[in-house]
Structure 1
Amino acid sequence: MRTFNHVGIITNENQEGAMFNEGLNVWLTDYSKSPNKIEFLKFDDPAKSCLPELVKSNGHIAYTVPSLDEALKDAKVIFGPAVCDEHLTIAFIEEEGIAIELIEIK
Structure 2
Amino acid sequence: MKYPFSHIGIPTTEEKDWDGFYEPGKIHYTEFDKDDYKIEWVKFDDDSPMPEMMRTLPHVAYLVDNIEEALEGREILVDTFSPGDGVRVAFIKHNGAPVEFMEISS
Q: TM-score normalized by structure 2?
A: 0.88
The Cα shift of 1:50 comes to 2.3
Match of 2:63 in 1: 64
Match of 2:24 in 1: 23
Deviation string, structure 1 residues 16-41 (Cα, Å, up to 9, x no partner): 24432212112101111000000101
Provide structure 2 residue ranges, at least 5 long, that are not aligned to the other structure: none
In structure 1, how many angstroms separate the alpha carbons of the residues matched to 2:16 and 2:37? Answer: 15
Identity rate, percent = 33
Give the counterpart letter for 1:99 in structure 2: P
In structure 1, how many angstroms separate the alpha carbons of the residues matched to 2:24 and 2:57? Answer: 20
What are the equivalent positions in structure 2 for 1:63-102 lying under 5 Å apart?
63-102=62-101
Change (3 A) 1:10 1:85: closer
In structure 2, how many angstroms separate the alpha carbons of the residues matched to 1:2 and 1:86? Answer: 22
Q: In terms of mean alpha carbon deviation, does 70-79 or 48-57 score higher?
A: 48-57
The Cα shift of 1:85 comes to 4.3
Give the counterpart letter for 1:102 in structure 2: F
Provide structure 1 residue ranges, at least 5 long, that are not aligned to the other structure: none
Give the counterpart letter for 2:27 in structure 1: V
Deviation string, structure 1 residues 37-90 (Cα, Å, up to 9, x no partner): 001011231xx2122211111121111101111101110011111133451111
| Paired residues, number | 104
In structure 2, how many angstroms separate the alpha carbons of the residues matched to 1:62 and 1:95? Answer: 12
Q: Does 1:54 align with 2:53?
A: yes
Match of 1:9 in 2: 10
Match of 1:42 in 2: 43
In structure 2, how many angstroms separate the alpha carbons of the residues matched to 1:6 and 1:68? Answer: 17
